[in-house]
Chain A
Amino acid sequence: MGSIMMRIELKINGSTMSAEVDDDTPLLWVLRDTLKLKGTKYGCGIGQCGACTVIVDGQTARSCSLAATAAVGLEVTTIEGLSANGDQFVQKAWQDIRVPQCGYCQSGMIMAATALLGKKLFPTDEDIDREITNICRCGTYDRIRAAIHAAANGRT
């Protein structure tokens, strides 16, 4: 009710993409259903679980709780933007440590880890605990922690 439909231009993974959206539509649903970037997942819709995590101007954002209109003019990176073949250094660490089980949360986890590693060369366990609040129901936390350290150490 009361929302206005508008056309917006978003900068996503280095490309400019255009979408017609209601002005209150969360970025998540524009990514998934309008732009067909389905690697970003819906989990809770209230910014708790982090399955929808993307990077906006270098900072993590819960895309379920950010209106797409608010991302206009900002650089948005989704899981699809990290690499063409899964060989970005965090993705590779995730593969080496064999983190995923069902895999549903891992796009968000990898985005959160990428943002953390963008801010800190060698995040401590405490940094990880504080910065990565995403939920994994399969319980891959131990490997997520190991993969973040491995990614930091293996970065060239």
Chain B
Amino acid sequence: MNTDRRSLLKSIAAVSAGVVFPVTMTGCRVADPKPSDSVELFSWVVMMPDNTVRIRIPQSDIGQGVVTTLSQVLAEELDLKWSSIRPEFFDPLTNLKRNNVYVYTCTESSWSADRLFNPMRMAGAQIRQMLLTAAARRSGFDVADLRTEESSIILPGGGRQSYAEVASAASHIAPPHPSRVKLKDPADYRLIGKPIKRLDLVPKTTGKLEYGIDVDLPGMLYAVVQQSPVYGGKLVSFDEQAIAKMPGVVGVVRIAAGPCGLNGPLADGGEDYGMDDAVAVVADSFWRARKALLALPIEWDDGEFAHTSSESIMADLVSRAGRPQPVVREAGDFAGSIGRAHRVIEADYSYPFMDAMPLEPINCTAWLNSDGLQVWASTQFAQEAHRLAAVTAGLPPERVQFNLPYVGGGFGRRCQNEYVSQAVQIAKAIPGKPIKMIWTREEMMARGYPPPITISRFKAGLDEKGNVIAWFNRVISGTAPDQSYGPARLPHYVPNLRIEYARVKTPQPFGWMRGVAFTQHVWMNQGFQDELAVAAGRDPVDLYMDLLDEGSVPTDLKGRDVAIRRIRHMRAVLKRVCQIADWETPLSQGRGKGVSVSDFSYWDTYHTGTASSVVEVTLDGKGGLRVDHVYVVMNCGRILNPEVVRGQVEGSIFWAITTALYGKITLKDGRVVQRNFQDHNVARLATACRNIVVELVESDDHPAGVGEDAVPIVMTAMLNAIYDAGGPRIRSLPLSDHVLSFRKQDGSDALPGKPSGNL
């Protein structure tokens, strides 16, 4: 449901206009308080006496560039001078007190542009009107005779008043009702859509940018934690005396299992998966705390998952795949039509647990004293972190200040705030001192929030001409929210179709890892479709285009217009990527290409980009694989900043390559086997593709998310390309578990219907 405009109206009504609220510090500029004659306007901006402007960014910057792109949006309508902008992250307490004035503060689902484009344009335009009204009163001119430019009001005759000069008067003027505010004609945009350099570009090359892990406070102590090594395990005991005399050790804190906050707003599928018992050692340095924790004897009760492994889970999923599961989408008569099919193809695809592994290790600093609680944490969901901190501390929310720093990578991992609860529990046990808790990389890998382990069983029927007349897909996955959209929200309408979907409880909680269920199911769906194309002797593009048939959309379908739009967008980007990738031209022996197309349409009104990819690979016949070319064409609606969008697509390409090559977390006896990057490689320069072509489609549509769309299609195209190059059909991940030698000429090792193992 798109409620941007309406919820903004509601929140506007709730904010009493004209009040200058007390200055709050946010993590962006902790050491840089505002002078007392700064003026806050309408919660969104603070005008400074020197005519610089603080813009409140109601999202976390996890690398996706919202500090810049959202500033572009607000500054466009407010006519700000770009060099005068000083962004700062929003304050969750202010947002709470003002009834969600910042509209959408959870940084997930690539939603920043989609959900904040309208509210921030409107806020900028309203503040501009307030400033104009104040300037008119002061100068005696009519508002209609004034205009704005570069953070100034221009008077008839050319006189100027800076925004700073009229800000105080403007702050006492009620914001105009949005219905009476005219937004700019996009033709007049001078910021939106322009490749402006990131506002934080230079400090990101000098080491001066502050992430959560860089918080530094007087007298600060350090904490290192060890959680139950088995998911769901309980702490039995630890022997504090064994480390009490180690240098610098301040104490050992028992962290209780329990709720750890939502990983997204409830309306968007947020859930609280709870966290397990943990032990923290507090010392006067990280290194000493870490050494002492390694020396601390801890006894755990491993609990119900003590003997669970990826292998046993997969065996259970496979066995369930042999039985009927709940139907989530059905059309025509699958059972009857499959019997009439000229050819029947079957295959099992599977997907392992994975880990997002952002590079900044999980950390949180908490300081409980007589004034209340201060918390600093790099998180994707600061609003929930603030609530969780208050609940954990047992304090009313207004006595908790949450400071949001920059985030050294999120990728969904930091939607979950369990570490905030841990740090606050430590601060409660050792009050009066700021304590920075840092997880080791080993702890991060042991306690990830994976996408669900999944099996996807396909059966399809082709007619004599190679058309898909029957489609069956039974999916069983581990712990996750309802992700039946993955198998069920296909853009095509095969006449006889049945989709079944079920979930079982698995040890780890679920995390929104970049690409989420689309990465899993776009690959599995289009990997299988590629198999159908091969079986039918057809070009996969030809098969996709046939499936993306407007005429196949049932006339009585609810949301038929959306279904048709999806098909048109997909056909357009697929056609275009085939042109720029020269799809028709065959490659030499040992080389191959694959293709994929998808959007990110979780549900009918979910604004999403549409993207298509062609990937070319080379197999050396000795198991070696090289990704030669990646082409991506993306339509993401209006582009706020093309360079930022390109960066997101490039990042998604390497995310896809890492996922395909190495993506796997293995459980054995309830424990994660991989300990650090030596057990779980990621793409590096040597494995990164050197030839990338990204084409962005120009569009006036509402801006759509771009942070994830290229992940599933690039991975799918890459895995299909391996088969095209003469390699094996890939039905499980990662590639590092497969032998990428050439198939035998008789095809005996590549028959469809033989599920690949390797889990």
Residue ranges of A at the interface with B (Cβ–Cβ < 8 Å)? 1, 3, 5, 22, 24-26, 29, 33-34, 36-46, 48-49, 51, 78-80, 82-83, 85-86, 91, 94-95, 98-107, 110, 125, 128-130, 132-145
Best-buried of A22, A26, A144 by chain B (most CB within 10 Å): A22
Contact of A139 among B216, B651, B677 (CB under 8 A): B651
Asked if residues B685 and A102 are in contact (CB atoms below 8 Å), the reply is no
Min Cβ gap B166→A in Å is 34
A-B contact pairs, 25 of them (CB 8 A): A1-B291, A25-B285, A25-B287, A29-B287, A33-B222, A33-B285, A38-B210, A44-B676, A79-B207, A86-B203, A98-B201, A100-B198, A100-B205, A102-B359, A103-B200, A103-B204, A134-B684, A135-B682, A137-B358, A137-B359, A137-B411, A139-B683, A141-B685, A142-B650, A142-B688
- Residues 217-238 of chain B: 1 if any A CB is under 8 Å from the residue's CB, otherwise 0? 0000010000000000000000
Bound form: Cα–Cα A39–B360 in Å? 12
Contact call A1/B441, Cβ cutoff below 8 A: no
Interface check B478, CB cutoff 8 A: no
Q: B62 an interface residue at 8 Å Cβ cutoff?
A: yes
In the assembled complex, the Cα of A110 lies from the Cα of B206 at a distance in Å of 9
How far does the Cβ of A45 sit from chain B's closest Cβ, in whole Å? Answer: 6
Q: CB distance A143 to B650 under 8 Å?
A: yes
- Asked if A140 and B677 sit within 8 Å, CB to CB, the answer is no
| CB–CB A129/B685 < 8 A | yes
Instruction: Give the residues in chain B near A29, CB-CB below 8 Å.
Output: 285-287
Closest-by-CB residue of A relative to B655 is A139
CB distance from A68 to the nearest CB of B (A): 10
Q: Is the CB of A91 within 8 A of B411?
A: no
Q: A44-B676, A128-B685, A138-B409 are in contact. List 6 more A-B contacts (CB 8 A).
A: A33-B286, A94-B205, A101-B647, A104-B360, A141-B685, A142-B654
A142 CB contact (under 8 Å) in B285, B440, B655, B690 = B690
CA separation between A94 and B407, bound complex, in Å? 20
Residues of A within 8 A of B440 (CB): 45
Contact A83 B206 (CB under 8 A): yes
A46 smallest CB distance to B (angstroms): 5
Kindly state whether residue B653 has any CB partner on chain A within 8 Å: yes
A104 and B359 contact, CB distance less than 8 A: yes
With contact pairs A41-B360, A98-B647, A140-B647 given, residues A49 and B287 touching in the complex (Cβ less than 8 Å): no
- Known: A101-B65, A104-B359, A125-B690. Is A141-B654 also a contact (CB below 8 A)? yes
* Known contacts A86-B202, A104-B408, A110-B205; is-contact A144 B359 (Cβ 8 Å): no
B686-A102 in contact (CB<8A): no
CB distance from A8 to the nearest CB of B (A): 14
Chain A hits for B678, CB < 8 A? 46, 48
B201 with A95: CB separation less than 8 A: yes
Q: B214: shortest Cβ distance to chain A, in Å?
A: 4
Asked whether, in the complex, the Cβ of B407 is within 8 Å of the Cβ of A102, the reply is: yes
Residues of A within 8 A of B62 (CB): 102
Q: Does B652 contact A (CB under 8 A)?
A: yes
For B409-424 the 0/1 string (1 means CB < 8 A from A) is 1110000000000000
Given contacts A101-B64, A103-B408, contact A141 B688 (CB under 8 A): yes
- B49 smallest CB distance to A (angstroms): 25
Residues of A within 8 A of B295 (CB): 1
B567: interface (CB < 8 Å): no
Interface-centre pick from B63, B207, B408, B686 (highest chain A CB count, 10 A): B207
User: A154 CB to closest chain B CB, in angstroms?
Assistant: 15
Do B216 and A100 have beta carbons less than 8 Å apart? no
- In the complex, chain B residues 641-663 whose Cβ is within 8 Å of any chain A Cβ: 643, 647, 650-655
Contact flag A95-B359 (CB < 8 Å), given A103-B406, A142-B650 = no
Q: Which residues of A contact B222 (CB under 8 A)?
A: 33
Asked if B685 contacts A133 (CB within 8 A), the reply is yes
CA distance A94 to B650 in the complex (A): 16
A39 touches B359 (CB 8 A): no
Most B-side CB within 10 Å, residue of A22, A41, A139: A139
When chains A and B are docked, how far (Å) is the Cα of A33 from the Cα of B213? 11
- Given the known interface contacts A48-B676, A102-B359, A143-B650, the answer about A42 and B686 at a Cβ–Cβ threshold of 8 Å is no
Q: Which residue of B lies closest to A99 (CB)?
A: B205
* 0/1 interface trace, chain B 255-276, chain A, CB 8 Å (1 if under): 0000000000000000000000
Cβ–Cβ < 8 Å partners of A36 in chain B = 216
Residues of B within 8 A of A33 (CB): 222, 285-286
**In the complex, A66 Cα to B285 Cα: how many Å?**
17
Given contacts A1-B246, A39-B207, contact A100 B201 (CB under 8 A): yes
Q: Does B6 contact A (CB under 8 A)?
A: no
Within 8 A of A (CB), among B394-446: 406-411, 438, 440-442
Q: Is the CB of B654 within 8 A of A139?
A: yes
In the bound complex, CA of A106 to CA of B692 (Å): 21
- A74 and B610 CA atoms in complex are apart in Å by 53
Residues of A within 8 A of B442 (CB): 45
What A residues does B410 contact at CB under 8 A?
102
Q: Is the CB of B651 within 8 A of A138?
A: yes
Does B208 sit at the interface, judged by CB under 8 A?
Answer: yes
> How far does the alpha carbon of A130 sit from the alpha carbon of B686 in the complex, in Å?
7
**How far is the CB of B148 from the nearest CB of chain A, in Å?**
29
Q: Judge whether B285 and A51 touch: CB under 8 Å.
A: no
State how many angstroms separate the Cβ of A16 from the closest Cβ of chain B: 21
Among B63, B214, B287, which residue has its beta carbon within 8 angstroms of that of A26? B287
Taking CB as reference atom, which chain B residue is nearest A101?
B63
Choose among B204, B359, B655 the residue with the greatest number of A CB atoms under 10 Å from its CB. Answer: B359
Query: B208 and A39: CB pair below 8 A?
Result: yes
Given contacts A100-B205, A135-B359, contact A22 B287 (CB under 8 A): yes
- Assuming the contacts A48-B678, A98-B647, A103-B63, asked whether A141 and B683 have C-beta atoms less than 8 A apart, the reply is yes
Contacts of A37 in B (CB 8 A): 207
Instruction: Kindly provide the distance from the CB of A101 to the nearest chain B CB, expressed in whole angstroms.
Output: 4
- Report if A22-B288 is in contact (Cβ < 8 Å); known contacts: A39-B207, A41-B408, A46-B441: yes
A7–B360 CA distance with the chains assembled, in angstroms: 30
Return chain A residues, CB-CB under 8 Å to B201: 95, 98, 100
Whether A49 contacts B690 by the Cβ 8 Å rule is no
Please report the C-alpha to C-alpha distance between residue A82 and residue B208 in the assembled complex, in whole angstroms.
12
Complex CA gap A45/B213 in Å reads: 14
Q: Which B residue sits closest to A131, measured CB to CB?
A: B685
Q: Which residue of chain A is the closest to B195 with respect to CB atoms?
A: A98
Q: A residues within 8 A CB of B332? A: none
Closest Cβ–Cβ distance, residue A43 to chain B (whole Å)? 5
Known: A38-B216, A103-B406, A138-B409. A44 touches B647 (CB 8 A): no
Find the A residue at minimum CB distance from B684. A133
Known contacts A44-B441, A139-B651; is-contact A145 B690 (Cβ 8 Å): yes
Residues from chain B with Cβ under 8 Å of A107 in the complex: 207
Most buried by B among A34, A94, A137: A137
Determine whether B247 belongs to the interface, using a CB cutoff of 8 Å to chain A. yes
The reply to whether the CB of B197 lies closer than 8 angstroms to some CB of chain A is: yes
The reply to whether B214 and A102 contact each other, CB–CB distance below 8 Å, is no
Let me know if B676 and A46 touch, CB within 8 A.
yes
What is the distance, in angstroms, from A54's C-beta to the closest C-beta of chain B?
11
Task: Indicate if the CB atoms of A39 and B409 lie closer than 8 Å.
Answer: no
Q: Which of A40, A43, A105, A128 has the most CB of B within 10 A?
A: A43
CB neighbors of A among B233-249 (8 A): 246-247
Given A44-B676, A137-B359, A139-B655: A98 in contact with B198 (beta carbons within 8 A): yes
Q: Please give the distance in Å from B639's CB to the nearest CB on chain A.
A: 15
Closest residue on chain A to residue B680 by CB atoms: A48
**Docked-complex contact A38 and B205, CB < 8 angstroms:** no
A136 and B65 CA atoms in complex are apart in Å by 16
